[in-house]
Structures are given as structure tokens and as C-alpha cells.
Structure 1
Amino acid sequence: MNQIAFSEQAKQQTLTMSTRLVAELTGKEHFNVKRDCDVMFKELQIDALKFEGIYLDSMNRQQTEYLLPKDLVETLITGYSIKLRYQVIQRLHELESQLQPRPTIPQTYSEALQLAANQARQLELAAPKVEYYDKIVERSTLLNASQVAQKIKISAVKLNKLLDIFDVYHKGVKRARLFQQWFIDKGFGEVKQTELGFSQPMFTTKGEAWVIEKLTSEGLV
């Protein structure tokens, strides 16, 4: 006796419950549940034929029932007692859990190997995206001198000269600029390697804020 069915929307895994199952769960006569449905359909101005189904009774005769989606089941039982509503809702939850996709567990050693290979392939395909994302994040949180200078409308050359005054750069390093250790320790900057292998000082957003505040407070910008 098939009391749980799927409507035409079954391809989308839309759960329906038959009025026979509602009657069984609530202890009501099936014809009374169908009568309640007819009242509901009339109030909601819904065509009952959309939900009508056929089943065979114990004497192999064709009988009609309604196959209701979850929202109409809940609407139907609103007027029932708390206990009856609870029984129907519990069953709805059970049926919904059965519709949830479950992970496929390998049944053989070869299936387990294939699953591992598929997962490794997915990680391999994702690796370039992860690397690209890391680069984007780094670029979005670290700024070079030119980018900081643009924020305060001066050239990078002028900015670097001003920062030399405040002992931001290492004076002992020629042909390159490196931050003083105090600047790095405070989280104001980092030294990164370029693709050509050169060291490049990069300002953090915290360092950018310090530079702007320092030069503004000193009246230099």
C-alpha cells in the first residue's frame, strides 16, 4: 500500500504525503481527511484535481486520495489537536531526512582507490585557484610606496624622502630600500621578494594609516 508518493515535481525531490497517511497518523477516517482537504482547497481557491491520485483498496477497487505537498499538509493539520499535528509533522521530518543526499561509501578496495584519485584530482585542479587567490589577498592588503603616495597626492620619490626623515628605511642598504626593524615589528610593513628576486618594501594597511597620520600631523602633506 503506497501511502507516500511524489507528485509530478518528483524530479525536483518535492515531498508529498497522501491523505491516507494523514488519516493513519491522526486516527481519522480517510473520508474525513479528504473532506477537510476539500474545505481547504475551496478556501485557498485551489483545483483539487491537481492533487488527486488513485490507489487500490483492500478489495482491489480504485479509490481516490490527495497527494499533498508539505505546505498544504501543514495547512491541513492546523485545525487538528496539538498531538495530531505533532505526529504528522514528525513524520514529515522523517520523510524529508530520507530525501537528503547521502555520501557514497566505497564498497570495494578499487572504489576506495578511485574515490581517493578523484579527490586528489579535485585538489590539483583547485591549486591554481588557491594560489591566485593568495596573490590577490596579498596585493589587496600590501601596498608599495607609489600606491601609498597616491593616497596623499604626492610622488613616491617625495614620500620616500619624507620617510627617510622619520627613520623608516634602513640607511645602511644602498641601491634598495628596506624597512627598519621597528617598522616591521609594529606591523607597519613587510619585505617581499619580487618575481625577479629583488626585495621590495610593502606597507600594510596599518602602516599606510601610520604614514598618512604621521605626515599629516607634521604638516608635511
Structure 2
Amino acid sequence: MNMLTNGGNFNGPVTMSSREIAELCEKQHKHVLRDIETMLEQIAEPKFGPSDFASTYKDSTGRTLKEYRLPKDLTVTLITGYRADLRYKVVKRLEQLEGQGGHALPRNFAEALQLAADQAKRIEAMAKDVAAHERLTKADGSMCFRDSAKSMQVRPIELTNYMARNRWIYRQSQNGPWLAYQDKITAGYLEHKVTTVDRSDGTEKAVTQCRITAKGLSKLAKLMGDRA
């Protein structure tokens, strides 16, 4: 049985693994994984994705397998369609964990190893966030793609391709300028600035340039991981 945890943060929210849900509800783990993915697809607002709750564990043979770790609200939502007696077992387990301050001690050596591995992953992720922040805190205002790539220590084409592939930017025509998706502007990651360029005939032309904010640089550095 996998333990409930608050992800190593004693004051953080309680989560429950899909494996423990499967055991408490007397279901196969693969069926609980399927139910979780179906539930997340059906929740329109806020929009969740499986990657938001994805985690891994090692089975008895040492294989690394997928599981999900759900917060309390999604755990309760998931089990709504299950049998009442099984729902009751899950709810009581959540209450037990909350009474322990959101933390459960490992019950065996395998769980202790898994907890240590989870802690190491979180420390590594925090280190990447800190490194990205340190590189980018000096950025003032917004930057063009080339300067942003230089700040992130990646090639400009790599940064541009990543942003286009992941719906940060788009073009209205094949040779048109890059434009920001509205949700990235709303989030404060990108902005549009109008600049003036000189034509060959001596006249001026106003062009719209998509630029990356300091907040957007930090977000991209985290998403692109080791490449940034």
C-alpha cells in the first residue's frame, strides 16, 4: 500500500496516490488511472491535465511505473461514482491523514526508499527553479527572442520552435511576424510592442514584435529544463 502524503511539505495540502485509492476501493490500479484521466478531461474549469498530478513509483521488480497523486478535492470527486462503503474508507483515510498534520510515516523499507526518491526529485526541481530565477532576475522589461535565447543559454531557433510547438506563439501567414497567443499575454509571459523600421526607400514602417517578459523567461526556463 502506498502512503498518503502532502508531498514533503508538512503544511501543504494532503494528496492520495492512485495506488492507494485502487487498494481502498478494491479496484485494479490501471482502472483507477483510467478513471482519473477521464475525470480530468471532464473538468472544464479550472482546466487540469494528467501531467499536473503525474508521479512515478518502483514496483517489486524495480520497474518505474506511472501513478497519480490527487489533492483531497479531486480524490473525493473521483470516488463519487464508487460504492458508498468504499467511498467511506477513502474519506476516513483522508481524515486520518489530516489529523496527522498531512504527513504519514513510511510503513516499510520500500516506502522509505520511495519517500527518499520523491524528496530528491523535489529538491532537484527546486534547484532548477532557483538556477533559472538567478539567470533571469536581471532581465528588465521584455526581450526579443534572440536576446531571450541568449539569456537562457539556448539557440534562438530552439526557443522559437519550442514556443511555436507549445502554443505560445503563431503566425497568421507563412512569412508573417510571430504573434503571441492571448492566454500567454494575459498570463504576463509575452507582450506585443510596435516598433518602427526603415524601408529601403527611406520611409518608415511600423511592425509588431512579440517579446518575452521576465516572467515569461522564468517560465520558459523551467519548462525547457536542462536545455535552458
Q: Which has the higher helix share?
A: 1
What is the TM-score normalised by the length of structure 2? 0.41
Q: What TM-score comes out, normalization by structure 1 length?
A: 0.42
RCO (CA 8 Å, sep 6+): is it higher in 1 or 2?
Answer: 2
